[in-house]
Amino acid sequence: MTEKKHILRRAPRPEPKPDREMECFAAVPRGSEDVTAAELRLLGIEGAQAGRGGVSFRTNRAGLYRANLWLRSASRVLVRLAGFPCSSPAELYDGVHAIPWQEMITPAMTLAVDCSLRDSALTHSGFVALKTKDAIVDRIREACGSRPNVDTASPDVRVNIHLVKNVCTVSLDSSGDALDRRGYRLERNEAPLRETLAAAIIALTGWDGNVALADPMCGSGTIPIEAALMAARVPPGRNRSFGFQRWQDFDPRLWKGIQAEAESGIRQLPVGLVSGYDSDSRALSIARRNAAAAGFEGQVHFFHSSLEQFRPEGEGGVVIINPPYGKRMGEEDELKELYCQIGDILKQRCQGWTGYVLTGNLELAKYIGLKASRRFVLYNGPIECRLLKYELY
């Protein structure tokens, strides 16, 4: 007798509910909060409030879709569902269980729970995630008769728990994969810069695509490629999908319209506008493949050049350098000469340009031998860094 296979089919997606304003939070690398707030204002989202580690804002469904598609410096966009005091497992369970999860998650869908905890009675993130999951699936089972499964790798719905000083905030993660996953970085060089941090650095320089931009230590090309995306007006989320596309209230017609609107604004990158240089042939090969994957084959130019040979083309523009800090790739004593060299190159070869150096080692920065006209505090992962600006008259 032939065995019958029972296939769990997802129910047809219901018509989107009437639009409503949502309370959102864009999580960002520390130091980039003002950059992200400015990006939201450019998207027409007013009232964005920058705080530590993120930006709070209110928007409708279209604004949420645009934020995910266009934000360059944010890590993810969360939609707040509830907040409540939480100093015990019972309070956590009851607070999460009170949310009408059956309106957002069906038994045929999958879910995952992410947690961040600080200064609270509950200190084990694994336990908090498990207790949250129990409360969610219990509520759905009570309403629907069956429960969804957990899929930590690629869930339909990702729930975020933020527990700080015994106050729990429950949110839906509308981004899915982190927003730095643009889809173009096919390969990574050693100690790569995150795309979101590269975008924040470029924004802090004030570069607007009207003058040249050069990176003399470009590695796998993240800074030049992010600059190219900005100058060509390409949304950073163009070649990826988002968590909200799996939600029950996803509006595909609205999303297609927003994508079409974005596509209509893309322009060709001017020749010679963005360039990268590196002495590592393998890194340059990766950079070229990444640039091609981002749609800039032949438009972003990469040159095999040591730092000693670097000379930017053109009469002025912006030079951005991200040298090693002595914490990941090389020891501090070995890097003193490199930082001296950076100072010499900026002074002797980049007159008329504006130089920026990102470093997580202020002792090494002294060897540049130039007075920074401005300093921006940024975090590269856990490393507190400075983006140093040098006016090169």
Mean pLDDT for the chain overall: 92
How far apart are alpha carbons 376 and 123 in whole angstroms?
33
The upper half-sphere exposure of residue 198, i.e. CA atoms within 13 Å in the direction of its Cβ, equals: 25
List pLDDT tens digits, range 269-287: 988 999 999 999 999 999 9
Q: Give pLDDT tens digits for 175-216.
A: 999 999 999 988 766 667 999 999 999 999 999 999 999 999
Q: Of 301, 304, 297, 306, whose CA–CA distance to 282 is shortest?
A: 304
What class has domain 195-232+267-391? alpha beta
pLDDT given for residue 161 in this prediction: 97
Instruction: Determine the pLDDT at residue 7.
Output: 36
3-state secondary structure of 169: strand
pLDDT of residue 20: 82
What interhelical angle do 252-264 and 61-70 show, nearest 10?
40
HEC per residue, 247-280: CCCCCHHHHHHHHHHHHHCCCCCCCCCEEEEECC
Instruction: Please tell me the number of Cα atoms within 13 Å of 92 on its side-chain side.
Output: 24
Maximum distance among all alpha carbons in the chain?
A: 85
Tokens 């600006």 belong to residue: 389
pLDDT at 141: 96
CATH 3.30.2130.30 boundaries in the chain: 22-173
Topology of domain 22-173, CATH: VC0802-like (3.30.2130)
The pLDDT of residue 313 is: 85
pLDDT for the residue 3: 41
Identify which of 43, 9, 30 has the alpha carbon closest to the alpha carbon of residue 237: 43
* Low-confidence spans in the chain with pLDDT less than 70: 1-18, 188-191, 327-330
Q: Tell me what pLDDT residue 327 has.
A: 64
Comma-separated ranges of CATH 3.40.50.150 domains in the chain? 195-232+267-391
DSSP 176: S
Instruction: Quote the pLDDT of residue 18.
Output: 60
In terms of Cβ atoms closer than 10 Å to its own Cβ (0-12, 13-18, 19+), residue 267 is exposed
Cα 40 to Cα 43: distance, rounded to the nearest angstrom = 5
